[in-house]
Structure 1
């Protein structure tokens, strides 16, 4: 597996533990999830409680919806950006997530090296690519995380150990990122975040490599090398991925026609949308929608 150093790519974030606790359990609510593309030394288990939007983990850029659960490895750059259309000013329900964060040695430097934790140590290694947690495992872990928000410290620790057990036994784990990507330092974080913010704001409309390059004071050719070195993807391919993921979300969650979804996702014509959709998913948008509605495995 290729390991890619994101040289000066994402913001390093130091997470403060609350007093009297060796790991973090918290609910975060925010209109848009403003935290930039960042990394930290903690492993992170994140349950998307409400809202929807775009999710960046390592070199994977895709949409997320409420109910999803992911395990993100230490120092893996990531970002969850809630869609602006979910929250309206003055609304009582904001995008929210429940998060557990812990370091390797939160229970001692030999904890994950013990024989009993051998399988969980393997899961943590896999989390360096990001892991989506699916099926029955997701439902069980979600409930434990919610219970941990309002229980005592010993019960919190017991809940986390139970989560480790469920992950160790699960066959419902799906890698997110193709390559293992680790953040290095924060010197260039503002540059990458300007690019991501531009892409997130404009991918449904007009977007260009030239405009993105000017945001970070690079020539187009230098920008293309810069972006690919940090994501292993050309910038325009990244934009197409975001548009296709938005198309998938609309196919799953709305009754809009395929033509309407084509334009709503940022594509200029239906034939191009169909061609790119088929190339990625091996079926056209209508077949994708029908299969999802019939609950057949995709």
Structure 2
């Protein structure tokens, strides 16, 4: 599992991206991007991770995620078994808020959608109601839409979403303290950590990206995130280790190396300090759920 900052490239003649995913299992890619993402699970089940929230998902799971919020879908372990014949599918729409334009987005009729997009910074999970069949059908048909229909139906889907029942996914503390921040310096540092957590992560390199000396950077980082730089890196690595323990059959020693620890003993020590249990206990406790 390699986290990354995803750059979305639009097809010629399109203002936003519509994609479908179909494979034996979801790729477990922990990533984020500037664009909003509306994603519907059409086949498969497992664990959805958005920001600091980890929840089970199944067919019909629909979420709207704001820009720059890390997210990933982890298939249930059964999908990795050689004799399993099931597979996973999803339909997703990725768009920038600017596609609606300044004047159009400011129209009174668009106010409810603008409010929805403002709330999407926390990630929103749609809960089924009497509108769920219509919104699901529209999203499933999205890959077939062409021309102006794509934009019209995107507005329609967002309108149905805001008329339905939905709830935030990401906690206020997570949003305020770490990932979704107005600070471009923190964003650059976050990208550096997310792309290099498997190797050496240097506070010197992070400070250079933030265009600060090390001591000033450390004070700045702690003020914004309420954590020291080294603690943040440790928690990031352990977070990925937890996901690998849940979603793969790799040994805990292998997972420690995958997450940037050269010493098994030190990995176990850090994991227990942050998680409260050993890696093996963590995996065993998850299987009991």
TM-score, scaled to structure 1: 0.64
| Range moving further from structure 2, 13-22 or 175-184 | 175-184
Partner of 1:105: helix, strand, or coil? helix
* Residues 1:162 and 2:156 are matched in the alignment: yes
Partner of 2:158: helix, strand, or coil? helix
Query: Hey, what's the Cα distance between the residues in 2 that align with 1:214 and 1:14?
Result: 24
Partner of 2:171: helix, strand, or coil? coil
| Equivalent pair of 1:98/1:145 in contact (CA under 8 Å) | yes
Deviations along 1:118-153, one digit per CA (max 9) or x if unpaired, are 221111121111111111343321110112221322
* Residues 1:201 and 2:248 are matched in the alignment: no
Deviations along 1:222-277, one digit per CA (max 9) or x if unpaired, are 957xxx9xxxxx4348x89x97xxxxxxxxxxxxxxxxxxx78434xxxxx7xxxx
| Counterparts of residues 1-298 of structure 1 (less than 5 Å) | 11-34=4-27, 36-86=29-79, 94-136=87-129, 137-170=131-164, 172-179=165-172, 180=175, 181-182=179-180, 184-185=187-188, 186-189=191-194, 190-191=196-197, 195-203=238-246, 212=256, 215-217=259-261, 234-236=274-276, 265-267=286-288
Query: Hey, what's the Cα distance between the residues in 2 that align with 1:51 and 1:163?
Result: 22
CA-CA distance at 1:196 after TM superposition? 4.8
**Structure 1: segments with no counterpart, 5+ residues:** 1-8, 229-233, 244-262, 268-272, 274-298
| Equivalent pair of 2:28/2:75 in contact (CA under 8 Å) | no
TM-score, scaled to structure 2: 0.66
| Range moving further from structure 2, 196-205 or 17-26 | 196-205
Query: Hey, what's the Cα distance between the residues in 1 that align with 2:101 and 2:124?
Result: 24
Query: Hey, what's the Cα distance between the residues in 2 that align with 1:168 and 1:109?
Result: 20
| Equivalent pair of 1:31/1:82 in contact (CA under 8 Å) | no
State the aligned residue count: 232
Structure with the bigger percentage of helix? 2
| Equivalent pair of 2:240/2:259 in contact (CA under 8 Å) | no
Distance 1:90 1:114, change over 3 A: farther
Partner of 2:49: helix, strand, or coil? strand
**Higher RCO, 1 or 2 (CA under 8 Å, sep at least 6)?**
1
Deviations along 1:87-144, one digit per CA (max 9) or x if unpaired, are 6668775211100110010132444333222221111121111111111343321110
Query: Hey, what's the Cα distance between the residues in 2 that align with 1:176 and 1:206?
Result: 29
Partner of 2:79: helix, strand, or coil? coil
